[in-house]
Amino acid sequence: MHWPKNMILRQSLQILWRTPLHEVLLWRSRWAEGRRRCYSTALSERLRERFAFKKATHSIAQLYLDPEISTELRLASLPVEQKVVVLHGWIDSAPRKLSKRLTFATLRGAQFDFVTSNGSSAVGLNGDSSEDLAGKNTIQLVQMHPENIKEDDYHSLRRMKQETPVCVEGTVGIHKGTDGRYEITIVKITALNDTMNFASQVRETKQWDPKDRYLQLRTPALQRALALRSRVASLVRTEFSELGFTEIETPLLFRSTPEGAREFLVPSRTNAGKMYALPQSPQQYKQLLMAGGVHRYYQIAKCFRDEDLRADRQPEFTQVDLEMAFSSAADVQAVVERVLTRVWRDVRGVHLEMPFKRLRYADAMSLYGIDKPDLRGGLELIDLSAFATSTRHSNYPVFEILKYRPSGPSDAPTLAGAPDGYPTLRSPLMYKIDLAKEPAEAWLKAAASEFKLKFHSGTSDVGAVAAVIMQAYNIQDGDILFACTRQQVPFENPTPLGRQRLHLLHGKVKSDEIAPLWVVDFPLFTPVERQEVVDGHIEFDYDSLMSTHHPFTMPVLSDESLGAVLDVASSAPDTHTQLDACTVLGQHYDIVINGVELGGGSARIHDSMLQRLILAEIMKVRGVLRDPEAEQPENPFTHLLTALSMGCPPHAGLAVGFDRLCAMLYGSESIRDVVAFPKTQSGADPLVGSPSEVRADVLLSYHMQLADKK
């Protein structure tokens, strides 16, 4: 019966009118209590399930390794008692209704085990393709629903959004139509939290904004990267510990020192006007540890450099840092070879031959035009200094060529583009030998005019010189020659031909080959680059020198190097040109793998007088004086110089870029792939909003104030 509204109202008022007031109030409070209880029962039940969920019995991968399950499945045609497993994970793909009462969805497991394709190992990271791994980390869910599912039933798969975290209890069966993949028939599924639609939308579009980094981290690719990174760290620790190293943490609040890179400063609230600096590396602390009697030190250390972020650099990064007392460069290199060999073997199943190759810096530059050559792919440069010298720019006299033999008519190489920041740098001359069109020496004539070549040994017959060169280096019709010039000791790095070689080899080298190399005997000092390019040549200021590695690197012990550095450092400033210092070699070594500089180190100067001379007379560090008696209070290296003079033993060390090492093992060009929360190109982390502004009153408590914007 349908009562008109005012009738209901009238009858209700009549009942109320006849009822004593206290009873009305009692009803009212009971009704409110009932509502409250009903609401709170639902909420508390839901909360309870969100927090008191069952422990997982397996990860998805472990289901495949459980012999009980596989036996049960083999017998599944018989009515066996099925085992109920509990899995944790996320709804990976949106649930699909197959009928009124049947729903399917995919569960992505909470635990990424990275089982090898044959299911034999629960932690095999070696060589698995991400498809294999992703495949072992998802499983089909099937739910038979009761009649009348409620809209907000958090036990109903059908109601769940993609990316809902769940606890699934169910039985395992074989998923029909797949070769042996399992599926779970749900006994009970519980949503452990709500999720916004955004989480699935962003996953579907794969447009990863840095703000959504934690959603991106859920992808198998990044889970694998994080697992790999952790595995590499634990292998490194195991190997160092077996080699008798002590892991020691050094402070992150360090002091500002002119060691090389620009630092991040941290104002001190309790020391007005004073700052800490974050360490660009633990270099000085680890040398102090050597003075402190530590025999072999290592650390997986955080480092900070406030540099302009060129491609694939991070303002904070991680190093595997080591230092060894009473040791030489060769001792350090042997340890690093062992650690890297172990890591490559255990993570990638790749055997690296020890000892690694060694190449002097001068040879790397003249053969490959770069100090971190990729040895795969050959293509060596040819130094033609024996025949001619370039007079186009006095600091770039070396004339060199690169011969390229195309693999077929479609292999038509191009010139490498200009390097970043150097649009006007000279390009190599590219010349195709085409004997049907031109005489054989045409390329040399073109190069002679481009580079103003002066031929040696009185020969003016370019044809004869070309013939000798072409015969000596087997240059044939159809070959393409690239010609250019470089400095005698090249500080332009890579040289134009080095860049051209990289360009020619790009995409052509075998990617699974690992070619480790030590580059040794670097120049101890590098002249500072002037911000100018004159007629395609970078200008250097040979009067102001930087350390090629860092100022604590020991010169090579030859008369030319150690002798020269002592001469320059100990004689009156005007009696030597700084150019002499550029020929001094340092006991500096870089570990290079496939064209990537993985790390670098050196034997250190443990003699305080030599260290003082270099800092004072060559590096011209303010506050450091040649005479220790005249010590200046602002000397930023007093602690180190003093420690060296207190019986510090000889020592040597190195640091490997841990992010780059992991990226390489992971097979990625970008370290961002192996860093959980990388910074953007501008050094920001938009996820947390760093760096952020600080209120003026907070700044004041640090004794600071922002300068007026101009």
Binding site for ligand ASP (CB under 6 A): 281, 283, 600-602, 653-655
Is the C-alpha dihedral spanning 165, 169, 170, 172 positive or negative? positive
CB nearer to ligand ASP: give 162 or 611.
611
Backbone angles phi, psi at 107, to 5 degrees: -100, 130
- Closest contact distance (angstroms) between CB of 282 and ligand ASP is 7
- Closest contact distance (angstroms) between CB of 601 and ligand ASP is 4
The alpha-helical segments, DSSP class H, found in 52-164 are 60-65, 67-74, 130-135
Say how far apart CA 76 and CA 187 lie, in whole Å.
Answer: 17
Task: Provide the token pair at 11.
Answer: 């009858």
- Closest contact distance (angstroms) between CB of 283 and ligand ASP is 4
CB nearer to ligand ASP: give 325 or 655.
655
CB nearer to ligand ASP: give 249 or 353.
249
- Closest contact distance (angstroms) between CB of 622 and ligand ASP is 22
CB nearer to ligand ASP: give 165 or 279.
279
Is the C-alpha dihedral spanning 10, 12, 15, 17 positive or negative? negative
- Closest contact distance (angstroms) between CB of 663 and ligand ASP is 17
Cβ-proximal residue to ligand ASP, closest one: 281
CB nearer to ligand ASP: give 92 or 521.
521
- Closest contact distance (angstroms) between CB of 655 and ligand ASP is 4
Task: Provide the token pair at 449.
Answer: 């005019």
Residue 532 C-beta-side C-alpha neighbours within 13 Å: 5
CB nearer to ligand ASP: give 231 or 550.
550
- Closest contact distance (angstroms) between CB of 515 and ligand ASP is 22
- Residue pair 232/347 in contact (Cβ under 8 Å)? The answer is yes
CB nearer to ligand ASP: give 90 or 298.
298
CB nearer to ligand ASP: give 286 or 393.
286
The alpha-helical segments, DSSP class H, found in 409-525 are 442-451, 462-472, 496-505
- Closest contact distance (angstroms) between CB of 549 and ligand ASP is 6
CB nearer to ligand ASP: give 105 or 656.
656
- Picking from 475, 469, 470, 440, the residue whose alpha carbon sits closest to that of residue 456 is 469
The alpha-helical segments, DSSP class H, found in 278-417 are 283-291, 329-343, 361-368
- Residue pair 130/224 in contact (Cβ under 8 Å)? The answer is yes
- Residue pair 109/59 in contact (Cβ under 8 Å)? The answer is yes
CB nearer to ligand ASP: give 155 or 588.
588
Backbone angles phi, psi at 163, to 5 degrees: 75, 15
Q: 635 exposed, middle or buried (CB, 10 Å; 0-12, 13-18, 19+)?
A: buried
- Closest contact distance (angstroms) between CB of 164 and ligand ASP is 45
Q: Is 619 helix (H, G, I), strand (E, B) or coil?
A: coil
Q: Is 193 helix (H, G, I), strand (E, B) or coil?
A: coil
- Residue pair 393/386 in contact (Cβ under 8 Å)? The answer is no
- Closest contact distance (angstroms) between CB of 553 and ligand ASP is 7
Q: Is 501 helix (H, G, I), strand (E, B) or coil?
A: helix
CB nearer to ligand ASP: give 299 or 602.
602
Q: 328 exposed, middle or buried (CB, 10 Å; 0-12, 13-18, 19+)?
A: middle
CB nearer to ligand ASP: give 377 or 653.
653
Task: Provide the token pair at 358.
Answer: 């060694």
- Residue pair 571/620 in contact (Cβ under 8 Å)? The answer is no
Hey, how many other C-beta atoms are within 10 angstroms of the C-beta on 438?
A: 14
CB nearer to ligand ASP: give 307 or 450.
307
Q: 471 exposed, middle or buried (CB, 10 Å; 0-12, 13-18, 19+)?
A: exposed
- Residue pair 334/340 in contact (Cβ under 8 Å)? The answer is no
- Closest contact distance (angstroms) between CB of 278 and ligand ASP is 13
Q: Is 92 helix (H, G, I), strand (E, B) or coil?
A: strand
| DSSP H/E element including 223 | helix 220-242
Hey, how many other C-beta atoms are within 10 angstroms of the C-beta on 542?
A: 17
Say how far apart CA 282 and CA 302 lie, in whole Å.
Answer: 9
Pairing type for strands 537-547 and 525-534 reads: antiparallel
CB nearer to ligand ASP: give 498 or 601.
601
Residue written as token pair 């990617």:
511
Say how far apart CA 531 and CA 421 lie, in whole Å.
Answer: 10
- Closest contact distance (angstroms) between CB of 286 and ligand ASP is 7
Q: Is 657 helix (H, G, I), strand (E, B) or coil?
A: strand
- Closest contact distance (angstroms) between CB of 554 and ligand ASP is 11
CB nearer to ligand ASP: give 433 or 654.
654
CB nearer to ligand ASP: give 601 or 636.
601
- Closest contact distance (angstroms) between CB of 355 and ligand ASP is 20
- Residue pair 626/616 in contact (Cβ under 8 Å)? The answer is yes
- Closest contact distance (angstroms) between CB of 657 and ligand ASP is 9
Say how far apart CA 31 and CA 172 lie, in whole Å.
Answer: 47
- Closest contact distance (angstroms) between CB of 474 and ligand ASP is 41
CA dihedral (546, 587, 331, 659) in degrees, to 10, reads: 30
CB nearer to ligand ASP: give 494 or 600.
600
- Closest contact distance (angstroms) between CB of 648 and ligand ASP is 16
Q: Is 600 helix (H, G, I), strand (E, B) or coil?
A: strand
